[in-house]
C-alpha cells in the first residue's frame, strides 16, 4: 500500500466515525420519539387496548428514517421496553409483561411496520400519496400482528377484532394521513436537503 493510500484511509476514519455516530443518534432519538408518542394515551373502557399516538410515531420513524434505520429504531424501542424502561404506554404493566399482554402483538411487529413503511416510501417518488400508501400497508401488517396475538389470548378472532380493530380504524386513518404529511414536509425542508 502506498503512503498516499494509507493517508487517504486514515483521513476517512474520522468521517466514518462521525457518520456512524450521527446514524446511531438518529436511531436512539427515533426510539425516544416513539416513547413520547406512547405516553399520549387514551384508555378505552371496552377494550384492554388503549388509543395512543404510538402507531403514528412508528409510521413517522419508518417513513423519515427509511427501512433499515426505522427497523433498528423500533427494535431498540422494544429492547428498551423489555429492559423495563418506561417507553411503552403507561396503561400497561410495562416490561416483558407488556409484550406478553393484549398490546404485545402490536408492539412486536413495530420493527416490521417501520421497516415496511420505509421500504415502500424509499423506492419511488417521495410524494404524499406514496407516503400514505406506505403507511396503509404498514398498518395492515400492524393490525395483522395485533389481531393475531389478541386472537391467541382470547381464543376468538371475533373478540380480537372487537378489542383491537373496530374502535381504531378511524383514528388510524387520521394517523396515516398525518404521518404522510409530516414526512413529506420533513423531506421538503431545507435541512433535509443539505
- Given a cut of 90, whether residue 5 has pLDDT beyond it is no
Percent of the chain residues topping a pLDDT of 70: 90
> In this structure, is the dihedral angle defined by the CA atoms of residues 28, 34, 40 and 46, taken in order, positive or negative?
negative
pLDDT band at 194 (very low <50, low <70, confident <90, very high): very low
pLDDT band at 55 (very low <50, low <70, confident <90, very high): very high
Q: How would you class 25 by CB atoms within 10 Å of its CB: exposed for 0-12, middle for 13-18, buried for 19 or more?
A: exposed
Percent of the chain residues topping a pLDDT of 90: 81
Q: Which residue has the higher pLDDT, 12 or 110?
A: 110
- pLDDT tens digits for range 22-34: 999 999 999 999 9
Cα 176 to Cα 81, 117, 128, 130, 184: the distances in Å are: 24, 11, 10, 11, 12
Q: What's the CATH code, domain 3-193? A: 1.10.1760.20
List the domain boundaries for the chain. Answer: 3-193
Which of 184, 163, 175, 171 has the alpha carbon at shortest distance from 113?
175
- pLDDT tens digits for range 99-143: 999 999 999 999 999 999 999 999 989 899 999 999 999 999 999
Amino acid at each position: 500500500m502506498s503512503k498516499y493510500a494509507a493517508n487517504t484511509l486514515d483521513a476517512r476514519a474520522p468521517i466514518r466515525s462521525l457518520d456512524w455516530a450521527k446514524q446511531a443518534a438518529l436511531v436512539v432519538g427515533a426510539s425516544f420519539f416513539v416513547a413520547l408518542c406512547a405516553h399520549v394515551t387514551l384508555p378505552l373502557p371496552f377494550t384492554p387496548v388503549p388509543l395512543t399516538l404510538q402507531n403514528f410515531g412508528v409510521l413517522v420513524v419508518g417513513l423519515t428514517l427509511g427501512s433499515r434505520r426505522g427497523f433498528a429504531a423500533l427494535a431498540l424501542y422494544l429492547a428498551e421496553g423489555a429492559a423495563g424502561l418506561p417507553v411503552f404506554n403507561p396503561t400497561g404493566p410495562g416490561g416483558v409483561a407488556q409484550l406478553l399482554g393484549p398490546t404485545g402483538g402490536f408492539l412486536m411487529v413495530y420493527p416490521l411496520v417501520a421497516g415496511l413503511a420505509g421500504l415502500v416510501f424509499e423506492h419511488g417518488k417521495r410524494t404524499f400519496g406514496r407516503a400514505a400508501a406506505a403507511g396503509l400497508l404498514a398498518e395492515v401488517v400492524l393490525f395483522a400482528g395485533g389481531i393475531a396475538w389478541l386472537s391467541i389470548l382470547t381464543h376468538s378472532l371475533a373478540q380480537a377484532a372487537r378489542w383491537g380493530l373496530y374502535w381504531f380504524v378511524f383514528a388510524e386513518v387520521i394517523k396515516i394521513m398525518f404521518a404522510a404529511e409530516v414526512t413529506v414536509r420533513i423531506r421538503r425542508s431545507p435541512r433535509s436537503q443539505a
